[in-house]
Amino acid sequence: MKTLYIIRHAKSSWGFDLPDDKRPLNERGERDAELIGKELKTLVKPVDRILCSPAERAYNTAKIISYQLNISEDIFVLEPDLYDFEGSKVINVIKNCTDTIQTLMIFGHNHAFTSVANLLGNTYIDNLPTSGVVAIEFETEKWKDINVGKTLLTIFPKSLK
């Protein structure tokens, strides 16, 4: 059994003259990431690995949520291929995970994450909003064999306010 948590980065700022991967979270993004982290505390299975896009907004979202979940930084890895907006690289990252990982949490970007959630989950999601979470469970022991799994939950910040 494998469990995947797909988490889109929190709301970021557009008001800075910065490269896309350097954009920070804005205040709403920081609040929403903390809110999601607190909500996930009672819902998340123990996480074996966190993979995160190297973009600042994704990294900061992952740090805020992992802090709320008391997750050790030892399992935290920056994964350049999660800085993807289409989805094919994201699928490859997931399928290439070592099979000792039972529960994987990934942080990244749209439209890739909405596409991946719809490709791998059995519940259609129109758009994964910033700070949105989708958890999917797969009836397999090998990440390379994942196909359509069962969508266990979706959490969007708007539903928590």
Residue 19 vs residue 81, higher pLDDT: 81
50-71: per-residue pLDDT in tens? 999 999 999 999 999 999 999 9
Separation CA 7–CA 63 (nearest Å): 12
Superfamily of domain 2-160: Phosphoglycerate mutase-like (3.40.50.1240)
- The predicted model scores a pTM of 0.96
> Given this model, what pLDDT does residue 13 score?
85
pLDDT band at residue 138 using 50, 70 and 90 as cut-offs: very high
Record the tokens describing residue 47, joined without a space. 């996480």
91-134: per-residue pLDDT in tens? 999 999 999 999 999 999 999 999 999 999 999 999 999 999 99
pLDDT at 151 exceeding the cut of 80: yes
End-to-end Cα distance, the chain: 33
> Given this model, what pLDDT does residue 113 score?
98
> Given this model, what pLDDT does residue 81 score?
97
Mean of pLDDT values over 25-46 = 95
pLDDT band at residue 20 using 50, 70 and 90 as cut-offs: confident
pLDDT, the chain, mean: 96
> Given this model, what pLDDT does residue 110 score?
96
pLDDT band at residue 35 using 50, 70 and 90 as cut-offs: very high
Any idea where the domains of the chain sit in the sequence? 2-160
Amino acid at 37: G
